[in-house]
Amino acid sequence: MKRLAFLLVAVLIGTTVAMAQNRGGQRQFDPEEMAKRQTEQFKTELELNDTQAEKMEKVLLKSYNEMTTLRQEMTGEEDRTKMREKMTEWRANQQKELKKILTDEQFAKYEKLMEERRANRRGRPGGGRQ
């Protein structure tokens, strides 16, 4: 009986450690990597020229750095309304900066792409918490 209990505890600990290390196959990106990756995607999807792509990468990098700071500040914060307000303000600032770079047609396409991505995230576990 002691052997069985020990074996069960060992299996549970091993499983917990394995899951903590794997994190479901998710990979965390640093802001620079995210900005580069997103810019490359948008360069193709929105048909950005080199100048637009360069400016967009700078805006995205600044924006992602701000997001990282916001997330650190909000860790453990219980007031979801306050969090939502900060996130809404962050998103509005990002869009205002991108609107300066993109043509009206590109910005409309950007908004459509972002809405599609948000809709896709809502369908996944852990995504689209509102």
Map tokens 């701000």 to a residue.
Answer: 66
Task: Give the pLDDT score at 102.
Answer: 95
Task: Give the pLDDT score at 130.
Answer: 44
pLDDT (tens, 9 = 90+) of the chain, 130 residues, equals 666 555 555 555 655 555 445 444 455 668 899 999 999 999 999 999 999 999 999 999 999 998 888 877 777 666 778 878 888 998 899 999 999 999 999 999 999 998 998 888 877 665 554 4
Task: Give the pLDDT score at 18.
Answer: 52
Dihedral in degrees, nearest 10, Cα atoms 100, 106, 107, 111: -150
Determine contact, residues 11/4, Cβ cutoff 8 Å.
no
Q: How far apart are alpha carbons 51 and 16 in whole angstroms?
A: 48
